[in-house]
Structure 1
Amino acid sequence: MSKRTSPALASHVPEAQRLSTIRGPLLAWYDRERRDLPWRRTRDAYAIWLSEVMLQQTQVSTVIPYWERFLARFPTVEALAQAPLEEVLTGWKGLGYYSRARNLHRAAQEVVARFGGRLPSTAEELLTLPGFGRYTAGAVASIAFGEQAPLVDGNVARVLSRLFEVEGLPGDRAREARLWELARALVQGERPGDFNQALMEHGATVCRPESPLCLLCPVRTACGAFKRGRVDELPPAKVRAPPKRLTLVLAVWPHEDALLFARRAEKGLFGGLWELPAAEVEPEAEHTVAAESLSKALGVQVAPEAELGTVRRQLTHRALTLRLLRVSGPRRPSRAPAFHELRWCTPDQAAGLGMSTAMLRALEAALAAGVLGR
C-alpha cells in the first residue's frame, strides 16, 4: 500500500491537538466572516430545517426569497402539515427537485402526528422522518438543538479531503466512512451547530472547488493538501454520466378559452405537479404515433392537429425535450389512467397550479403560438 493511499483507509481519529488546530481557528473565522443569512438569525427548528432542505442542490441567493415566502405562507409545522400538497408544490414552484417539497410535507404531517408538532431534537429521531438523511439530520440536530451531530455535504467533504488528505472518488465507501468519522471527531466540543456551519461556509467561500483562496484560509497550516501542494488534486473530480435524453409530447388541447391540464402521480419526474398532459415518445416520433401515446395516457381518442413548437430544458440528470402538439378529440376527458387529476383551466387559473419551470415554459410557448386565439 502506498503512502498516498493510506490516509483514506486510516480509521483512527486524529489526536486532540490536531483537531484543536482546526476547530478553534475555524470557529473564530466563522464569527468574523460568516455571511448574514436570514436562517442564521432564528432558533426556530422548523425554519432551520426548511433552509437546509431548500439549500440542497440550490444556491443561497436563489433560496433566500423562496425561504422567506414559504415561511410567510406556511409559518409553522402545523400550517405546512395541514396544507394541501398542491398548495405546497405551488409555493415551491421554480425551485426544482420537487421531491424535496413532497418529503417536507410528509415529514411535517409525521411531526404533528408523532411528535405533537415539535421537531425531535436528536439526529437519531430525525432520521425516522421522510426526507431526512444523515446530512439533514445532523444539520438540524446540531444547528437547531446543539447536538454534537456530524454532517458531510459536498462543501464539507472537500474541506475534510484537503485537510486530512482523504483519497478516493466521491461515492467510494471507504472514503465516505472516513469523512464521516472525521466530521464526528471535529464536531465534539462547544457550539457544534456553529462549527458545522463554519465547515460548510468555509467550503462555500474559501476552500472552493476551483481557485481556492488558500492564502485567506484560517486552517492552512493544518492542511495536509496545502503543505504538500495537493489542493488541486483533492478531492478528485467525480466522473458524471452524460444526462439521459428524454422526449415528452405535450397535449395542447384547447376548448373555448381553456386548456387541458393534468396532475402527475406523486413519484417520479415532476411528481405531484401539474402540466399540459405529457407522454414519453421517441425523439423523432411522427404526429400520429405521438397522438397514440397521448390517447393511452388520457384514456380517450386524441387526434393530432399541428406541432406548435419545442421547448428544451437541461435538468441535472436529463436533457429534456418537450414537443407541443395541438390536439382535439370527440370526447373531452375528465379522468385519465395516467394522471391523478384533470382540469380545464384558463391561463389565469393555470397560474395558480403547481407547475415545474419546464412546463411553465411549454405553456408560455403554446399561448405564444396562439392556441387559444384560433
Structure 2
Amino acid sequence: MIDCQSGGSRQFAGVLKPALKKDALEDPVGFRRALRAWFEKEGKDYPWRRTRDPYAILVSEVMLQQTQIAAVLGRGFYARFMERFPDTRTLASAEDDVLLKTWEGLGYYRRARMLREAARVVEEQCGGEFPKDHQAVLGLPGVGRYTAGAVMSFAYDEAQPLVDGNVARVLARLMDFSEEIDGGKAQKQLWAWAEELLDRAYPRIYNSALMELGQTFCRTGQPDCLECPVAKFCRTRHPAELPKKAKRVKVTELDEHVVFAERDGCVLLKKLEAGRREGMWRLPERAAAEVADWALLHRRKYGITRYRVTLHVHADEGIEAGEGEVWQPHADVPGLVMPPADRAALAAVTGDAEEIA
C-alpha cells in the first residue's frame, strides 16, 4: 500500500515536496490530462517535432542517443545532416568519407553507419517507402525497442510506449521504484508501467511530454517538484535519490603518443581501417619508448567510453611514414574526418583555429 501521509507537503533538501494526492496507476486519465495540459502550453519547439517524416524522426532519435539536445541543435548537427541527406535515398548512397564528415563532432560514429544501413534497407527492401509497421521499423539495422516506438508514435501517432533515460527517471520517481533500473527485471517493470500509463488517444503528445518532463522538472539530481505539473501523482518522498543505478564501471587511464610531422606543406596522418574510429584520420601513433626522448609539443586529455586518455603530441625527430600513413596537404586537412582530440591537438600545435572547425 502507498503511504499517504497527512499534510500538504514533505520536506526534502531544504524545500517542500508536494504530497501524493492521487496515484497515477489508479487515476491514469487524470495523470495524462495534467501532463498533456502542461505540454500543450509549455512544450518546447524542436525541428523533429514539426515533422511527421519518419526518416527525419529516426535521424533525430539516433543523434540524441548519445548527445545532448543543446549540442544537436546549438552546433547545427541535425540541420547540417538533414540538409546533406534529406531522405533515405541520399543517405543510402553516401560515401563513407562524406557520411563521417557530416557526422563529425557527434562521436560514436557507428550510429551514422547504422543509419545508413537502415536507409539502405528502406531503399532496397521497401522500395524507398519508410515502413509504417512497428515490427518492420524494429527490424531496421540499429533500431531497438525505444527507437522503433519513438518513430511510430511521433511519425504515425501510433500508441507505443517509450522508455529512455528521461522516462526511466520519471517513472522511478513516480512509482517510488528503488531497484537499480539497469537490470533486466527493472527494465521490464518500467516498460510495463510505460505501457499502462500510455495515453492511447494522444500518444505523440504524451510521449513527447513524458520525455520533456524528464528533461526539465524531473531532471537528474535535484528535481523541481514544486513546479512539476504532475507532482501530485508522485509517490516518492526522496526524488533526488532516484533512480538507483548500478555502480559505474571504473574509468581506466590510458596514454597515447602521437607525432606531429610536417614536410613541404604536408602533415603525416593515418587513416584508421578498423574499430570505432574506422575511416577517420589521426596523427600517427608510436610506442612510448620510441618517442620517450622526443620533444613534447602538446598534451591533452579526453574521454572515450570507459577510458580517460592522455594524448601526448611529440615533435618530429626524423619519423618515417608507416603502413597506411599518408602525407596530407595542410589545405586538405579541414575536409578530413578526424577524432576531436586529434583535430584540437593539431590546431594547438599549428596555431590554426580553422583546424578545429
Displacement of 1:344 in angstroms is 2.3
Q: Is the 8 A contact 1:206 1:216 kept in 2?
A: yes
The answer on 1:274 being equivalent to 2:263 is no
Q: Is the 8 A contact 1:250 1:276 kept in 2?
A: yes
The answer on 1:186 being equivalent to 2:186 is no
Displacement of 1:16 in angstroms is 6.8
Q: Is the 8 A contact 1:80 1:108 kept in 2?
A: yes
In 2, the alpha carbon distance for the partners of 1:366 and 1:15 equals: 58
Aligned to 1:239: 247
Shift in CA distance, 331/220, structure 1 to aligned 2, threshold 3 Å:
closer
Q: Is the 8 A contact 2:166 2:211 kept in 1?
A: yes
The one of 342, 347, 350 aligned to 1:359? 342
The one of 96, 118, 126 aligned to 2:107? 96
In 2, the alpha carbon distance for the partners of 1:126 and 1:68 equals: 23
The answer on 1:286 being equivalent to 2:294 is no
In 1, the alpha carbon distance for the partners of 2:68 and 2:307 equals: 20
The answer on 1:122 being equivalent to 2:129 is no
Query: Normalised by the size of structure 1, how large is the TM-score?
Result: 0.81
Aligned residue runs from structure 1 range 173-212, under 5 A: 173-212=184-223
In 1, the alpha carbon distance for the partners of 2:295 and 2:24 equals: 70
Quote the RMSD (CA, aligned, Å): 2.5
Q: Is the 8 A contact 1:77 1:108 kept in 2?
A: yes
Shift in CA distance, 138/61, structure 1 to aligned 2, threshold 3 Å:
same
In 2, the alpha carbon distance for the partners of 1:31 and 1:330 equals: 62
In 1, the alpha carbon distance for the partners of 2:234 and 2:104 equals: 41
Q: Is the 8 A contact 1:245 1:320 kept in 2?
A: yes
Displacement of 1:147 in angstroms is 2.0
Q: Is the 8 A contact 2:301 2:309 kept in 1?
A: yes
In 2, the alpha carbon distance for the partners of 1:359 and 1:167 equals: 42
Displacement of 1:91 in angstroms is 0.9
In 1, the alpha carbon distance for the partners of 2:88 and 2:196 equals: 32
Aligned residue runs from structure 1 range 1-374, under 5 A: 17-64=26-73, 65-225=76-236, 229-268=237-276, 270-278=277-285, 285-287=288-290, 306-327=295-316, 332-333=321-322, 335-336=323-324, 342-368=325-351
Displacement of 1:107 in angstroms is 1.7
Shift in CA distance, 330/166, structure 1 to aligned 2, threshold 3 Å:
closer
Identity of aligned residues (%): 38
Q: Is the 8 A contact 1:251 1:327 kept in 2?
A: yes
In 2, the alpha carbon distance for the partners of 1:148 and 1:261 equals: 50
Query: Normalised by the size of structure 2, how large is the TM-score?
Result: 0.84
Deviates most, 248-257 or 94-103? 248-257
SS in 2 for 1:216: coil
Deviates most, 147-156 or 237-246? 237-246
Letter in 2 for 1:159: V
Letter in 1 for 2:334: A
Letter in 1 for 2:225: C
CA offset digits 1:62-100 (Å, max 9, x no partner): 111211111111111111111112111111111122221
Q: Is the 8 A contact 1:85 1:105 kept in 2?
A: no
Q: Is the 8 A contact 1:167 1:175 kept in 2?
A: no
In 2, the alpha carbon distance for the partners of 1:272 and 1:147 equals: 38
In 2, the alpha carbon distance for the partners of 1:219 and 1:330 equals: 64
In 2, the alpha carbon distance for the partners of 1:254 and 1:115 equals: 49
In 2, the alpha carbon distance for the partners of 1:163 and 1:142 equals: 22
Q: Is the 8 A contact 2:270 2:282 kept in 1?
A: yes
In 1, the alpha carbon distance for the partners of 2:318 and 2:240 equals: 60
Q: Is the 8 A contact 2:24 2:234 kept in 1?
A: no
Give the structure with the larger helix fraction: 1
User: Unmatched 5+ residue regions in structure 1?
Assistant: 5-13, 291-303, 337-341, 370-374
In 2, the alpha carbon distance for the partners of 1:186 and 1:239 equals: 29
Shift in CA distance, 118/277, structure 1 to aligned 2, threshold 3 Å:
farther
Displacement of 1:276 in angstroms is 1.4
User: Unmatched 5+ residue regions in structure 2?
Assistant: 4-22, 353-357
CA offset digits 1:197-221 (Å, max 9, x no partner): 1110001011112221212222222
Equivalenced residues, count? 331
Shift in CA distance, 47/121, structure 1 to aligned 2, threshold 3 Å:
same
Aligned to 1:297: none
